Chain A
Amino acid sequence: MRYRTLLKKIASLFLLLLLLAGCASGASPAGGVSPSPAELRGTELFAMDTYMELKGYGASDALLEAAADRIRALEDALSTTREESEISRLNRDGETNVSEETYRILTRSLELCRETGGALDITVYPVVRAWGFTTQSYRVPERGEIAALLETVDYRGIARDDSTRAVSLPESAEIDLGAVTKGYVVDVLRSLFEEAGVHDALFNLGGNVLTMGTKPDGSLWHVGIQDPQGGLLGTVEITDKALITSGGYERYFEDEDGNVYWHIMDPQTGYPADGGLLSVTVMGDEGIRCDALSTALFIMGTEGAEAFWRNHKDFDMLLVTSDGRLLLTPDAAAVFTPDEACPYETAVIEP
């Protein structure tokens, strides 16, 4: 009898330990057959002058290929560095008829130029080129040269005809949709994935992020935000949101005296925007608007960006200022966890 009791004790001890080991190794609960979640599948590509990652739960090879093809087709239509693109043709000839999609992007871009009071201006391209940012042959233009180029900078001079999709530019004006293209692309990718029945996905086009749905366990996407001075600022947990950052810290050059010039040009001055900001992160529903706002708010500067947000409140933002502060809108603060090493004095923007 005693021997049998002992055997039972040992057997139950083993069973308990096995269960513990099972739990520790992450196996499914004993007896339960949990449905295996759709596999996270993705692709990566170099396009639009950036590195892109697309991934989605249950995304098929066909969907990922279609997405990559769509990105390349948009690049072919919109790129200013491709001589045969629709935008290059418009810039060269001054007027042209564009495709339906290009016309739609252009129309939305002009609405965003207007909404931001011209802080975003798609006609600033000749100035950006004069500084060498389109060719990486960097130089500081003469004041007179900048003043002459600024004569052509005004998005309100662009004429359009909705029925024929004809677009014409004033003499010497040229446009670049680079400040909104990647935001538009994440919107397109969202539609593509939704149509294919993939509702949980994540896109990152060189820092322009869009999240859809959640992970299989229901948890939100964890999106890190880069500290413009290196390392990580912190993390936001989001779903169904675009999150787009603009800053001067990635594309810049230094002159012989050590002065730094970055690629985001103020369309008013023709010089790199200097509104006291190092980076602007915008969160919202529409990718193209978040992309446009991240650039426009960077140009507006700290106070301008705060004022713009108070007037709209239909997006959220994180501002890193050059005097060492991290400013967040209340809803951004609610989903943001600062990194342990985050060096900034954090404050919530008063509504």
Chain B
Amino acid sequence: MIKTRTWIIILAAAALIAAAGTFFTLRPRGEAKLVEVVQDGTVLREIDLSSVTREYSFEVVWTDGGTNVVTVRPGAICVSAADCPDKVCVHHGWLTDQSAPIVCLPHRLVIRAKGDTSLDTVSQ
């Protein structure tokens, strides 16, 4: 009797661990932290904002020589400087996973959340 019970417990525990493993690997992701930096339809970089530990910047150059400086910090991304005339991209400020995409029209640059977000779109 005791032996049988032990087996039940062992098997049940094994099954639970397996089920838990399945659950954690297959469950839908919570907040989307993935963003992509796209220029004229080409994905230049994909960044997981949740895994960013310290602030860094990189430069994106458009075919006409125009540049945008993209700054990344834990949980957020922005265009910190640009040589386009209107600076709409810089004025946009930090993009978190819920904001409208950052767009620089003259340089065809879009920085947007990737994957499932709770919003279908944003009006600005």
Contact = CB atoms under 8 A, between A and B. Distances in A.
Interface of A: 2, 6, 9-10, 13-14, 17-18, 20-21, 24-26, 44, 46, 49-51, 53, 136-137, 202, 204, 206-209, 211, 215, 221-226, 230-232, 235, 243-245, 247, 249-253, 281, 339
Contact of A339 (B28, B98, B105): B98
Contact of A243 (B12, B86, B96, B123): B123
A26 B120 contact: no
Given A25-B23, A26-B28, A221 B120 contact: yes
A231 B40 CA distance: 25
B110 interface: yes
A223 B105 contact: no
Nearest to A237: B120
Contact of A244 (B93, B100, B123): B123
Nearest to A220: B120
B73 to A, nearest CB: 15
Interface in B77-116: 85-86, 88, 91-94, 96, 98-101, 103, 105, 108, 110
B41 interface: yes
A53 B103 CA distance: 12
B124 A44 contact: no
B124 A245 contact: yes
Contacts of A13: 11-12, 15
A21 B19 contact: yes
Given A24-B26, A226-B99, A230-B94, A6 B8 contact: yes
A208 B91 contact: no
Contacts of B85: 136-137
B22 A225 contact: no
A291 to B, nearest CB: 12
Given A21-B19, A25-B22, A50-B105, 15 more contacts: A14-B15, A17-B19, A20-B23, A24-B27, A26-B26, A44-B110, A49-B105, A207-B124, A221-B120, A221-B121, A230-B93, A231-B96, A235-B119, A243-B123, A252-B91
Given A24-B26, A44-B41, A226 B100 contact: yes
Nearest to B104: A51
Nearest to B4: A6
Contacts of A53: 121
Interface band, chain B: 35 or more
Nearest to A224: B122
A289 to B, nearest CB: 16
Q: Which 6 A-B pairs have the closest CB atoms?
A: A25-B26, A136-B85, A226-B124, A224-B122, A21-B22, A207-B124
B8 A245 contact: no
Contact of A24 (B23, B41, B86, B99): B23
Contact of A202 (B4, B8, B120): B120
A46 B22 contact: no
A223 B124 contact: no
Contacts of A136: 85-86
Interface in B50-79: none
27 contacts: A2-B4, A6-B4, A13-B11, A13-B12, A13-B15, A24-B23, A25-B23, A44-B110, A46-B105, A46-B108, A51-B103, A136-B86, A202-B120, A204-B121, A204-B123, A207-B100, A209-B121, A215-B120, A221-B120, A222-B118, A223-B122, A224-B98, A224-B99, A224-B100, A224-B121, A231-B96, A249-B91
